[in-house]
Structure 1
Amino acid sequence: MNSLKTLITEKEGEKGYSRQYVKVTDTTENGVVCIDSDLDSNGKFRGITHLLSSVFLPQGYPSSVSHDYLEYQIWDTIQAFASSLSGSLSTRAILEGVGVGSSTSTPLAATLMWLIKDGTGMVGRILFAWCNGTKLDADSKKWRFFADLLNDCALSLELCAPYAVVAVGGSNGTMTSILCVAGVAKSIVGVAGGATRAALTQHQARQGNLADVSAKDGSQETLVNLAALITSLWLLPILDGATGLTWLMFILFTLLHVFANLKAVKAVTMETLNRARYMIILKQFASTKYVASVKEVNRLEPVIMGLIPTEEDVCGYRIKLGCSIKAVASQSIFEKQLAHYSERNFAVIPDPLTKTIYVIYRRDCKVEDMLESYSQAILSAMLSSGYSIMDLDPPLDGDISKALNQLEKSSYWKELRQGLVNQGWNLGQSLLAPGEWRASW
């Protein structure tokens, strides 16, 4: 009679193979036998699924990535497929516009036109990164959506190029101008899209596997582009010469691209606080003492360009973080305010005349100091404008300095901080994008 004793069990990841190692004892043989629990009637299917998962998903999925990874990747795949098909249609239009197939066009003219387009795009890429590079981390979802919308505009412009050339009598200058504008737009898309993709990948990687998540994202994108390429090989001959049908398909692909992008960025749930997410939390906390959850706030966060101003207008006040003392040195209350914050790593100095709240940081200012200073600036503006915050009554004369003193003496930050921790917000990092000035006093 056989005697079985399980010695050890093992499993490859969360959804990989599982095995048991048992000791078999009978009258003729003693030894350890491996029993593979996946070797059943569905073993081949499980093997294929495991292979595809290892090729296109990060190692250790799903525990190695954020919980919003799958939903985001599904919508990102759809938008990439739609964008590739739209790009195929616009590429055909560009080739037609530069004279491919025309007896009047020379290879030299087409080459020069292409080089000018690439050159202007390079300049546009440098200028955009210079002007907006520091903003891409803070509002990565907004800039990601903006980049995809701008890409659709560039593709639309390229698709219109041949008709514009015909309208002006076949001018090479017109085609060059159109391609240059589209090239600049696409260069901006490249910077904004690439930078925000890196920020989102950093959010999704949860086990120090940033490179793996990025690499598998690239594999997914390559597969999608391959599928779009095959589809384009079938679709383009059908659309050849059918202008109306071409535009109809382009509009449908563009609408699908925009919708899928919106769903993708809305699916991202970030635990770090930027100005937009923190603003939502503070407004709700001011009226209810409740700190909203990560999922609630990300669902309410606007992702369309223009709905997240660089410097928030809070009850008529602008908030400037990490600014130079030069901006406030001429105020009569400057010394008094600095003395009030002598033991703090920041100073909040309002200017009622210009309706601006300046926040100055010490050199050893920490992330939580920045979060507290920003909340103090926002809530003081609300309090001075007549809003009741927690148990604080607004100053009768609307003096914002009095509002700041009330907040300093209250326990609001202790309650707010505890609420943020309880809801799972990451207070070790912030995306408030303050200025670089630091002071000593």
Structure 2
Amino acid sequence: MKRYILDSCSQSVAVVEEHSVVVVARTTEAHSDVKVSWLPRTLKDFILPAGFPGSVSDDYLEYMILQFPTNVTGWICHTLVTSSLLKAVGVTSVSGTAAAASTAAIRWVLKDGLGALGRLFIGGRFGTLFDDDPKQWRMYADFLGSAGSIFELATQLYPSYFLPLASVGNLAKALARGFKDPSFRVIQNHFAISGNLGEVAAKEEVWEVAAQLLGLTIGILFLGTPELATPYPMLVISWLSLRLLHLWLRYQSLMTLKFCTINLKRARILVKSHMLLSIVPGCAECNKEENILIHQSFVKPQILFGSSLSEIIGVKGSVNELKALLELYDGEDYILSMSHRQSVEELKILVSFKVGATSVTVLRSMWQAYWLLEHWEGSNNAFHQLAESLSEVQERFDDFLKKLVDAGWDVKQINIKVPKEFIMYVQNAIECSSAS
């Protein structure tokens, strides 16, 4: 946190200390019934959580049905890649069997050890990301896993480079697992609306193992067909086809999820709809519109949350303008400004947060940003437009929150973090005495 003291007499701003502050909020999920009367009771009890459908969220079954073929294709791909790895290390050679096995073991341990560094890095560096957008990170995990498989497939072409190729491949897969596991835990928690997370996880294992066994069986049958498995081009084509199918099925399964939490992507959809149409979409409609492939930093318009006040000073150009900006936002827990650009396409919104800012503060600043961008008239009267947009926020934001509640969103627990960098404390210096 930075403490800024505004001297009303000299019209200067001083920075006197620095700390760090972070504010975090979470959300809960909604639920609707799913009926599976066609499923035999014995099978239902075996593969589904007790109390289904009332014990899980309404999108659980559709997701698991699509996950099953997704996992089947994944395990088929795994068997094909494993065959390339074993051939590359010479396990099938007739002579030197013991030496080949020892070499294979050493190389396998080395590549697994290097790959474990990836999981260590993900867990330590990106642990706070997964609650915000688990669907996105689960999809990215499969993209990374696919990239790792490409390196492993290449080992059969370049067996002398087995260690570097297999290590890079395993590193990519370890990174993928680092994204996958925590993301899926968030998804499982979304399903477990009855506090039955352990059972939901256990039943997911039933689906996973069944898919694994079926996938391995199909993969073994494929490898047992020499005219299909022996030619390397046929192996690569088969893997590529199955991997594309796998990625498509993963995307479809993730798109069935209906989170009633508000993250930054869904917040953009909700804010824009209310600002333009004075309505907000429900959970199902908003999740369907959400783009899970693109990262938040590439979403337009560009809103830079957590900008420093020094960046805003650079944009505003003078301490006098900064003083006017601080006075304008005196009653808010944030300060919003924008880069000086003539066209709205080039405009960047800068938001700096004060001590006491919450997730609702982020929503509030986003609403103002969208109104400002929609009504942008150029930089000649920028301060007037800031004041007008802030007035609109103060007039309409309460209606936005009310309509969120009416649409089924929980505004008390919003899954948006206030950026911990550059949280600031602004206070006025003691006024100077008037001249006698």
TM-score bin (small chain): 0.7 to 0.9
* Corresponding residue number in structure 1 for 2:214: 227
Shift of 1:93: 0.7
Trace 1:374-389 onto structure 2 (pairs within 5 A).
374-384=366-376
* Corresponding residue number in structure 2 for 1:359: 352
Seq. identity, %: 23
Shift of 1:221: 0.7
Pick from 84, 87, 101: which aligns with 2:92? 101
Structural RMSD (CA): 2.9
Are the structure 2 counterparts of residues 370 and 106 from structure 1 closer, same or farther at C-alpha, using a change threshold of 3 Å? same
Shift of 1:136: 2.2
* Corresponding residue number in structure 2 for 1:347: 334
Partners of 2:338 and 2:34 in 1: CA distance: 57
AA in 1 matched with 2:381: D
Partners of 1:308 and 1:15 in 2: CA distance: 35
Shift of 1:202: 1.4
* Corresponding residue number in structure 2 for 1:154: 148
Partners of 1:383 and 1:312 in 2: CA distance: 19
Trace 1:244-393 onto structure 2 (pairs within 5 A).
244-304=233-293, 307-310=294-297, 312-314=299-301, 317-321=302-306, 325=309, 327-328=311-312, 332=319, 333-344=321-332, 346-353=333-340, 355-363=348-356, 365-384=357-376
Does structure 2 retain, via aligned residues, the 8 Å contact 1:158–1:179? yes
**The residue matched to 1:163 in structure 2 has which SS?**
coil
Trace 1:9-20 onto structure 2 (pairs within 5 A).
none
Uncovered stretches (5+) of structure 2, i.e. residues with no partner: 1-32, 341-346, 427-436
Does structure 1 retain, via aligned residues, the 8 Å contact 2:304–2:349? yes
AA in 2 matched with 1:291: V
Aligned length: 377
**The residue matched to 1:162 in structure 2 has which SS?**
coil
AA in 1 matched with 2:232: T
* Corresponding residue number in structure 2 for 1:50: 41
* Corresponding residue number in structure 1 for 2:64: 73
Shift of 1:50: 2.1
Bigger shift: residues 177-186 or 429-438: 429-438
CA offsets 1:323-354 (integer angstroms, 9 cap, x no match): 5556557763444444444444x112314359
Q: Which has the larger radius of gyration?
A: 1
**The residue matched to 2:419 in structure 1 has which SS?**
coil
Does structure 2 retain, via aligned residues, the 8 Å contact 1:154–1:185? yes
Shift of 1:371: 2.4
Partners of 1:209 and 1:334 in 2: CA distance: 52
**The residue matched to 1:431 in structure 2 has which SS?**
coil
Shift of 1:412: 1.5
Are the structure 2 counterparts of residues 301 and 98 from structure 1 closer, same or farther at C-alpha, using a change threshold of 3 Å? same
Shift of 1:263: 0.5
Shift of 1:424: 0.9
AA in 1 matched with 2:350: I
Pick from 112, 126, 134: which aligns with 2:128? 134
Instruction: Compute the TM-score of the two structures, normalised by the length of structure 1.
Output: 0.77
Does structure 1 retain, via aligned residues, the 8 Å contact 2:148–2:173? yes
CA offsets 1:360-410 (integer angstroms, 9 cap, x no match): 1423x4443332233233333433357xxxxxxxx973445234333244x
Bigger shift: residues 283-292 or 65-74: 283-292
CA offsets 1:31-81 (integer angstroms, 9 cap, x no match): xxxxxxxxxxxxxx99x9223222221121111111111111111111101
Uncovered stretches (5+) of structure 1, i.e. residues with no partner: 1-12, 17-44, 166-170, 387-394
AA in 1 matched with 2:240: I
Does structure 2 retain, via aligned residues, the 8 Å contact 1:312–1:319? no
Are the structure 2 counterparts of residues 359 and 205 from structure 1 closer, same or farther at C-alpha, using a change threshold of 3 Å? farther
**The residue matched to 1:137 in structure 2 has which SS?**
coil
Does structure 1 retain, via aligned residues, the 8 Å contact 2:66–2:250? yes
Shift of 1:359: 3.0
* Corresponding residue number in structure 1 for 2:230: 241
* Corresponding residue number in structure 2 for 1:429: 413
Instruction: Compute the TM-score of the two structures, normalised by the length of structure 2.
Output: 0.78
Does structure 1 retain, via aligned residues, the 8 Å contact 2:312–2:350? no
Higher relative contact order (CA 8 A, sep 6+): 2
